[in-house]
């Protein structure tokens, strides 16, 4: 197993994500026999970073993960869990769940009550790594509420030794992540982001990664194979990979790509391993330092092009210099690309609400001044109009 230095400890480069443990049926409870074997294989083969969260597996992931890990010496594994602020709201003096748990979980009286419950469920006295879960545009107001004092509370827990290392996970915009790091300068030690060779461009993971590492923080990768999507490629895309390396699976390519990120690199690459074949393959790949080469990255770029048919915006921002509406055009095109690929508009809508009506695609007046400056010769107003129509035709709640 490859290891990365984090302060005075060594973390396995491969981390075990416990959001996608084997279940009984598609959405049933954790299949404890199969899940035990997966976690034990990971541990016995050098994995020492295990990630869970309050909401995973209908709230059962923390309990199960803690039960399996506690059969091993406590100083041989690192447990990461997360505070579920992205799914909480204040209702008077109470903290009430939205989404997962709504109507099924009782309210909580305090942050401390939730944190103590998590420690109890995991059967630990401290968390090695603890994160604010989903710190992004739609949860920032809750996390930054001075009356709640969330960040202050967890800093005190770290001072007391009940949290060894403090960070946050985020699906937010790059500029938002930069704002959080500036607002809470010196507070966080690591940031967990969705990053893979597809989202390097599609979700602007490149800029997020650079902001984190240039700030001197550790980066932790989630969704290295994008929930399995990069393990099951279209036939034409998979053929490109097989031509270059006949013996490697698409998942192997995805993990090797993250091994080769520039600069400080990813400290931990989390993989949600559901089947024994997943953990066996991933352990084997992450036991060798064999990042993708420049030529292989060119192949991956071709794979991305086949999968997405993306608008080829390079985010040079020349177009924005002439926009009379002061639109963040490159960001809007990035959101359009992502929504076109996934067929989902929900995450884009959350961001658009933050940007306001004047910042959305409908604010474009089609003056076409932007086109004159675009090196890629993109018909920008036409793309923004397609984005408007995509939003209008999206089913409610999508």
**Concatenated DSSP letters of 80-131:** EEEE-GGGEEEETTEEEE-STTTTTSPPBS-HHHHHHHHHHHHT-S-EEEEE
- What is the rounded end-to-end Cα distance, in angstroms, of the chain? 41
**In whole angstroms, what is the distance from residue 310 CA to residue 324 CA?**
26
**In whole angstroms, what is the distance from residue 200 CA to residue 338 CA?**
12
pLDDT in tens, 258-315: 999 988 889 999 999 999 999 999 999 999 999 999 999 999 999 998 887 768 676 7
What's residue 176's pLDDT? 94
Q: In terms of DSSP bridges, do strands 127-132 and 94-97 run parallel, antiparallel, or are they unpaired?
A: unpaired
Residue ranges for the chain with pLDDT beneath 70: 99-106, 310, 312, 314, 342-344, 346-347, 375, 395-398
What's residue 372's pLDDT? 78
What's residue 168's pLDDT? 98
Cα 135 → chain centroid: 11
Counting beta carbons within 10 angstroms of the beta carbon of residue 115, is it exposed (0 to 12), middle (13 to 18) or buried (19 or more)?
buried
**In whole angstroms, what is the distance from residue 43 CA to residue 279 CA?**
10
pTM: 0.81
What's residue 105's pLDDT? 65
What's residue 314's pLDDT? 65
What's residue 304's pLDDT? 92
- Residue 383, both tokens: 């793309």
- Where are any strands of DSSP class E within the chain? 3-6, 9-12, 14-17, 49-51, 78-83, 88-91, 94-97, 127-132, 163-170, 190-194, 218-222, 266-271
What's residue 52's pLDDT? 98
What's residue 363's pLDDT? 95
What's residue 28's pLDDT? 86
Residue in the structure block whose two tokens are 């699906």: 171
What's residue 254's pLDDT? 97
What's residue 375's pLDDT? 64
Query: Which candidate, 314, 328, 324, 323, places its Cα nearest to that of 376?
Result: 314
What's residue 209's pLDDT? 97
Q: Report the run of H or E that residue 369 belongs to, with start and end.
A: helix 369-373
- Residue 389, both tokens: 């129509």
- Residue 172, both tokens: 């937010």
């Amino acid at each position: 197993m490859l290891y990365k230095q984090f302060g005075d400890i060594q973390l396995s480069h491969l981390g075990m994500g416990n959001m996608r443990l084997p279940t009984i049926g598609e959405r049933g409870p954790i299949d404890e026999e199969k899940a035990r074997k997966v976690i034990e294989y990971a541990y016995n083969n050098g994995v020492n970073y295990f990630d869970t969260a309050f909401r995973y597996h209908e709230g059962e992931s923390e309990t199960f993960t803690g039960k399996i890990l506690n059969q091993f010496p406590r100083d041989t594994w690192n447990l990461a869990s997360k505070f579920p602020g992205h799914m909480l709201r204040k209702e008077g003096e109470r903290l009430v769940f939205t989404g997962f748990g709504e109507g099924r979980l009782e309210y909580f009286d305090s942050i401390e009550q939730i944190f103590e419950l998590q420690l109890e469920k995991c059967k630990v006295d401290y968390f090695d790594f603890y994160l604010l879960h989903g710190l992004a545009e739609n949860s920032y107001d809750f996390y930054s509420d001075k009356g709640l004092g969330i960040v202050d509370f967890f800093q005190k827990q770290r001072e007391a030794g009940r949290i060894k290392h403090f960070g946050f996970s985020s699906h937010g915009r790059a500029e938002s992540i930069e704002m959080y790091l500036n607002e809470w300068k010196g507070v966080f030690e690591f940031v967990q982001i969705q990053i893979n060779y597809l989202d390097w461009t599609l979700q602007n993971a490149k800029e997020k990664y650079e902001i984190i590492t240039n700030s001197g923080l550790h980066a932790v990768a989630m969704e290295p194979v994008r929930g399995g999507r990069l393990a099951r490629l279209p036939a034409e895309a998979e053929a490109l990979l097989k031509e270059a390396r006949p013996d490697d699976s698409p998942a192997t390519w995805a993990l090797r790509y993250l091994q080769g990120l520039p600069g400080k690199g990813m400290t931990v690459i989390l993989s949600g391993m559901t089947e024994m074949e997943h953990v066996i393959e991933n352990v084997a790949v992450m036991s060798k330092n064999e990042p993708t080469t420049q030529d292989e990255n060119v192949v991956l770029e071709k794979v991305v092009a086949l999968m997405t048919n993306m608008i080829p915006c390079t985010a040079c921002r020349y177009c924005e210099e002439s926009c009379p509406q002061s639109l963040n055009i490159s960001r809007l095109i990035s959101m359009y690309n992502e929504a076109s690929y996934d067929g989902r508009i929900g995450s884009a809508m959350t961001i658009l609400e933050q940007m306001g009506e004047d910042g959305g695609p409908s604010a474009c007046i089609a003056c076409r001044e932007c086109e004159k400056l675009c090196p890629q010769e993109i018909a920008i107003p036409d793309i923004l109009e397609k984005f408007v129509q995509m939003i209008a035709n999206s089913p409610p709640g999508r």
